[in-house]
DNA sequence: ACCGTGACTTGCGAAATGCAAGCGACCAAC
DNA sequence: GTTGGTCGCTTGCATTTCGCAAGTCACGGT
């Protein structure tokens, strides 16, 4: 109960987690990015319980991440495809993938992401100056949308990676 | 039970989810990146139940994401700091943050990440050619670590965003 | 008439989570 | 010198979520 309450709390990391944090959701998204789109395809690929799959797809639809689209009238059959909002989650998946490949893929990556004709990993750069971003040259501060509590809590504070 | 079994399944997205997928874990990481390091600090910031917090910190320690470090002998007191492996998760958090700011922050971002002296968002580029990566110019294929099942399942298949 | 497919729903037991309380070793104040 | 507070937890019990197996409904094929 408590985490749903927390997700309300004006935090741009907590908000997407309100649905991404539910089990299976990210794996369903992975399947969507791989081109899967039908209920039974997800079920066969993941082995997820059908009631849970059903609920997750409903939530993703409600959140506007996927569109539930009828592809057959008689009988009624549906497929699920990513919306623009859903495709915008790709960086999250690519970041997870890059980390997983680095730390958990002893035999090399099970899946390669391909840009043009070359396999790659996603690297993050600064939207303003274009320099590479890493944990040592980034810190944070309250933004324009911060409430007074956040201004207090996240005001000047040395990030841990600067404090040794 | 089933999702733990799935996480064993040679997938670089599923593997990190085995611990990141547990509730609160990503928010604890966010706090760690904000410089928080003590048990009660996390508890006060998140309102998470203390038994859950205790288990999450144990898991993160076991996974090598944080280091549990004694900062006082009498009485024994501990703090938690990110390891290199943990700091490497920053792209995941930045990607979540960028999405959250775009789609959920009506009043502007509650928190700004700062590079040098400018607030920014993380943008992903291709590690090979340096071009921007977006959902329309990426597809996937089995990699060197793929097993035969994965070669079959993820072989030539048009990603959904190419198939209209 | 029967089997198979696709997209689900239902019922029920198991596991994860939440809440409140307590604990042990201090320290600082009255 | 006892009360009160801090810190980092653990324990017990209620609630919520999840997993599993089965069933359903509308077809379509043979």
pLDDT in tens, B21-66: 999 999 999 999 999 999 999 999 999 999 999 999 999 999 999 9
| Segment A36-88, tens digit of pLDDT | 999 999 999 999 999 999 999 999 999 999 999 998 877 888 999 999 999 99
Q: Is residue B152 part of a domain?
A: no
Q: What is the pLDDT of residue B155?
A: 61
| Segment B101-147, tens digit of pLDDT | 999 998 889 999 999 889 999 999 999 999 999 888 898 988 888 88
- Residue A23 lies in domain: 1-86
Q: What is the pLDDT of residue B122?
A: 96
Q: Is residue A148 part of a domain?
A: no
| Number of folded domains that form chain A | 1
Least confident of A143-152, B31-40, B92-101: A143-152
Q: Is residue B58 part of a domain?
A: yes
Distance CA A42, CA B54 (A): 34
Phi-psi region of A106 (alpha: psi -120 to 50; beta: other; left: phi over 0): alpha
Q: Is residue A78 part of a domain?
A: yes
Share of chain B above pLDDT 70, in %: 92
Question: Which residues share a beta bridge with A156?
Answer: none
CATH of the domain at B69: 1.10.10.10
Got the DSSP string for A87-155?
A: HTTHHHHHHHHHHHHHHH-TTS-SEEEEETTEEE-EEEEETTT--B--TTSEEEEE-TT--HHHHHHTS
The whole-number average pLDDT for the span A114-135 is 93
Nucleotide of closest approach to A52 (CA, C1'): D18
Q: Is residue B75 part of a domain?
A: yes
Q: Is residue B1 part of a domain?
A: yes
Tell if the CB–CB gap between A111 and B142 is shorter than 8 Å: yes
The model's confidence at residue B150, banded by pLDDT at 50, 70 and 90, is confident
The whole-number average pLDDT for the span A1-13 is 84
Q: Which A-chain residues 55-74 have CB contacts (< 8 A) with chain B?
A: none
Q: Which A-chain residues 14-53 have CB contacts (< 8 A) with chain B?
A: 14-17, 20-21, 23-24, 26-27, 30, 32-37, 45-49
pLDDT at A161 over 60: no
Tell if the CB–CB gap between B26 and A21 is shorter than 8 Å: yes
Q: Is residue B97 part of a domain?
A: no
Q: What is the pLDDT of residue A55?
A: 94
């Amino acid at each position: 109960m408590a985490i749903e309450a927390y997700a309300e709390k004006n935090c741009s990391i907590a908000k997407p987690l309100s649905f991404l944090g539910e089990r299976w959701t990210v794996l369903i998204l992975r399947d969507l990015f791989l081109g899967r789109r039908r209920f039974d395809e997800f079920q066969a690929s993941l082995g997820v319980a059908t009631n849970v799959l059903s609920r997750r797809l409903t939530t993703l639809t409600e959140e506007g991440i996927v569109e539930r689209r009828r592809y057959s009238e008689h009988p009624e059959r549906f497929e699920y495809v990513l919306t623009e909002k859903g495709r915008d989650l790709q960086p999250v998946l690519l970041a997870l993938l890059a980390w997983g490949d680095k730390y958990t893929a002893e035999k090399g990556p099970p899946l390669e992401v391909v840009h043009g004709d070359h396999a790659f990993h996603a690297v993050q750069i600064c939207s303003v100056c274009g320099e590479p971003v890493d944990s040592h040259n980034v810190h944070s501060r309250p933004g324009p949308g911060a409430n007074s509590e956040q201004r207090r809590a996240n005001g000047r504070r040395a990030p841990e990676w600067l404090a040794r």
